[in-house]
Structure 1
Amino acid sequence: MEESKTRFEGVESILGDPKKAIWKLSIPLIISLFITSLYSVIDAVWVSSLGADALAGVGFVSPIFIALMGIGNGLGAGATSAISKYIGEGDKKKSDNGAVHAIVITVIVSIFTTLLFLIFLRDILLSMGASNTIDYAMDYGVILVSGSILVILSNSLYGVLRGEGDGNRTMYAMLFASILNMILDPIFIYYLGLGVKGAAIATLISLLFVNLLLFYWFYIKKDTYLRPFLSNYRFDKDITVDILKVGFPASLELVNNALFAALFSLLLTVVASTDAVAVYSTGWRVVTIATTPMLAVGTALISVVAANYGARRYEDILLAHRYSMKIAVLFGFIAAIVVYVFAPQIVSIFAYTGTSMRLSSQLIAFLSVIVIYFPTMGYGVTSTFLFQGTGNGITAMFQTILRETVFTLGFAIILAVVLGYGEYGAWWGIILGELVVNTITMFWADWHVKRLIRSNN
């Protein structure tokens, strides 16, 4: 009886009160995404004592790691959107089949991605401006890319769990992986003397174990609502399209973010130096942690919106969207205040020894400026994810490309190069780009839901 209650608890949540559902999914997501973002921070903390060049080398690989995470998160978003919609429609058989489809698609994409990155890794890093730190970047990158399937599959499976409204297990898995990574990092980097290679190995080992844990829940314990067994698999073109029409654009969104990070790093090497790249890549890890609550609320919104979309309860979608924006904006203000006030203490974690100490003042300046855009992310990310929940992945992707590649990078080039403000101008480019496109996206999402309501009436 207890097992049955646990299996159906998430499903009942996403089909119940939208406000309660958002909180129920957001809280474990905030914890789990916060812990996940610690992956790269932990690596940076340990690697920083190897020197600024090692830190910069790992920083150049960060966009690639972001891309791998993005592909997994994108496919996970596609799985969440499709599965939650089928649950909202009351089709259990199709939900199970959708879960298997998500896993099969993920494995195929992972194999292709690994081969692609292994072939072109060096050229990608050099094109980003990593020539001075290429040895460090390759040492870290080759190992990380070789285990791409571990990165992509875990994030996709998280999406399957979120599709049935289960945020708790996702949190447990991420906690387990991050704690293991914390333990393994110093062992492989220093005790075994592997340097930056050790950081990459520690990350992959932790991800291997988290994938095993996820498979244990699905295939051995068998206490999830979804049954992603091969016996439940029947190839269905419509299911494949439902997953990919959100998953593929969502992956491209996050890959685009990685592309932006790469181009932004290149811009910084042109207007400043590799030290500026180290400042940006390290500071952005702090930004990632600080903004996880907004991202968590947006991610939770996908499940709630998709389930209500499948049930054709569009008024509840409008309610969920507006409520999620209020929560996310509040989190944005809190995060901005905390990072601004405690910037010196935060920076001391990364620049506590060796040549990394020379980056302290720049890191503090970066964090003090970049917090300005945090509240705008609150209403921007929830609005973008609403489109994923209604199956409009292409629209969400367009909004992300507009924000990152067009406006943000465009403003950064104008301020840093044309007007000659250097790396400080580049930072302000991020703020202006986020402000403009997040505001556009908010009004766009509200109009989209109101149109659904009118069409239903």
Structure 2
Amino acid sequence: MANKNVELMRGEPEIAVRKLAIPIMISMLLTASYNIVDGIWIAGLGQAAIAGIGFVTPIFMILNGFSVGLGNGATSSISRSVGAKNHERASKAASHSLLIFLIASIVLTLSLIIIQEPLLKAYGASGQSLVEGIKYGTPLFLGLFAFMFANGGSGILRGEGDMKRAMYAIIVSVILNFILDPVFIYVLSLGSAGASLATIVSSLGSAIVIMYWILIKKDTYVDVNLKGFKFDSEIAGDILKVGIPSSLDMFMMSLAMSFYLIFISMVGGEYGIAAFTSGQRLYLFGIMPLTAIGSAVAAVTGSAYGAKNWDYLKRTHTYGTKFATMISAVILALLVIFAPQLSLIFAYTPETAALIPEITSFLRIACFGLLLVGIGMPSSFFYQGIGRGTTSLFWTIIRELIFTVFFTYLFGIVFNWGLTGIWVGLAVGRIIASILNFTYARYTINKLKTVLN
């Protein structure tokens, strides 16, 4: 199986991107369903619980982002080794990735537990929403290792093109989450804490399955031998030069989210936070297929770059962009057309019914940014594939912290358009930044022609 995956990555890039993206897409949509399912069950706990969890979202993005980011570092390093037909180096990259996941889990868990309450207060959480936020956040942060090895382990599998088994592990996790959410939240009366505990236990199930394949069954392309492990700073550095910037991608988006929450609190209070939190769940769900295509682009790009094949490199980015744009148009149409019905998912109780108009407004305005994110997302992952993680981070900063924060403040606060202005700012900022990102990616590809040919 592993050899077929490797040959796929070394073959026609259009076929590789398409075949690799579909299982990643399914995996990410299933992963995003965690958020959706949590939101459905939490809606029954009232507006304070919804808002409290909304305040935790930026911190959770840091937690999950580091695990995904370090996994991307593993993917990039392994895929470039696969392209260069260097099996030994690919195996060493996988071993070093596991060590990095372990160390990061310990450091980040301690850090997040310490800073969570001050951060929640800084975002504007107080009273019952603060209580609910801490109840939801604490188990998530204590269980960081489950996310780290689940997402990081998936990165190792993606690096060798084994997307299907990464998908199977996610299916195990999602089934567990579907079962455990109502049990923990209502049967055991754990409330908000029950939702996060269900997510952690489910992620742990995924991590165990992946580690079984890599460490015990040993039927992957990479051969991880922990007993004979020898630390290599060059390989660790190669993983981290993509992994750290990719992790900081999520941190920057989390930081930007903090500004959005502050602006929303200023103009819409708890009502605005609850509407944004619910709408954002659907936006993040909608962006998952684009992220999946980007992940496939990163893996295939890495293989092409390692093989010094400029033609495959260019074709990978071109096809990934077209594929993502087509998918984003379909997703946008669904979110806009069915916005009122989708809003009901998170506002089905008498107490939360008042949120429906604002969630609908969010979906019909803010989600228009998806239309051009389809050309920006593959570009960001392209940089990771060729080992330029800092370039990907640079564009995240431009998109979220510069353009989007600026326009949300401009329309929502300065122009006094309120929540509608913030929704407009989210769309405008992301559209402009995505166009610039795509343009720079094409410029980078043209420059690489003289290097790789």
Which bin holds the TM-score, normalised by the shorter protein? over 0.9
* Aligned mate of 1:62, from 57, 66, 71: 57
The alignment status of 1:82 with 2:77, answered yes or no, reads yes
376-385 or 205-214, larger mean C-alpha shift: 205-214
The aligned amino acid for 2:151 is N
TM superposition outliers: structure 1 runs of 4+ over 2 Å? 231-234, 454-457
The aligned amino acid for 2:114 is I
Using the alignment, how far apart are the partners of 1:376 and 1:232 within structure 2?
Answer: 47
Residue of structure 1 in register with 2:43 after alignment: 48
Residue 232 of structure 1 deviates from its aligned partner by 5.0
Using the alignment, how far apart are the partners of 2:318 and 2:343 within structure 1?
Answer: 35
Using the alignment, how far apart are the partners of 1:351 and 1:389 within structure 2?
Answer: 40
CA contact (8 A) 1:49 1:354 kept: no
Identical-pair percentage = 36
Count of residues in Structure 1 that have an aligned counterpart in Structure 2: 452
* Aligned mate of 1:155, from 151, 154, 159: 151
The alignment status of 1:416 with 2:415, answered yes or no, reads no
The alignment status of 1:291 with 2:290, answered yes or no, reads no
235-244 or 399-408, larger mean C-alpha shift: 235-244
Change (3 A) 1:232 1:327: farther
Using the alignment, how far apart are the partners of 1:279 and 1:207 within structure 2?
Answer: 27
Which sections of structure 1, spanning at least 5 residues, go unmatched?
1-5
CA contact (8 A) 1:331 1:375 kept: no
Using the alignment, how far apart are the partners of 2:96 and 2:12 within structure 1?
Answer: 29
Residue of structure 2 in register with 1:440 after alignment: 436
Using the alignment, how far apart are the partners of 1:156 and 1:394 within structure 2?
Answer: 19
The aligned amino acid for 1:331 is I
Using the alignment, how far apart are the partners of 2:360 and 2:269 within structure 1?
Answer: 17
Residue 354 of structure 1 deviates from its aligned partner by 3.6
Aligned positions of 1:251-270 closer than 5 A = 251-270=247-266
Residue 66 of structure 1 deviates from its aligned partner by 1.4
Deviations 1:25-49 (A, max 9, x none): 1000110000000111111110001
The alignment status of 1:388 with 2:374, answered yes or no, reads no
Report the 3-state secondary structure (helix = DSSP H, G, I; strand = E; otherwise coil) of the residue aligned with 2:348: coil
TM-score by length of 2: 0.98
Aligned positions of 1:304-319 closer than 5 A = 304-319=300-315
Residue of structure 2 in register with 1:3 after alignment: none
The alignment status of 1:169 with 2:165, answered yes or no, reads yes
Which sections of structure 2, spanning at least 5 residues, go unmatched?
none
Aligned positions of 1:33-432 closer than 5 A = 33-132=28-127, 133-231=129-227, 233-432=229-428
Report the 3-state secondary structure (helix = DSSP H, G, I; strand = E; otherwise coil) of the residue aligned with 1:228: coil
Using the alignment, how far apart are the partners of 1:415 and 1:153 within structure 2?
Answer: 41
Residue of structure 2 in register with 1:17 after alignment: 12
Deviations 1:378-426 (A, max 9, x none): 1000011101101111111010011000110011111111111111111
Using the alignment, how far apart are the partners of 1:148 and 1:220 within structure 2?
Answer: 23
Using the alignment, how far apart are the partners of 2:391 and 2:320 within structure 1?
Answer: 20
Using the alignment, how far apart are the partners of 2:409 and 2:113 within structure 1?
Answer: 30
The aligned amino acid for 2:68 is N
Report the 3-state secondary structure (helix = DSSP H, G, I; strand = E; otherwise coil) of the residue aligned with 1:253: helix
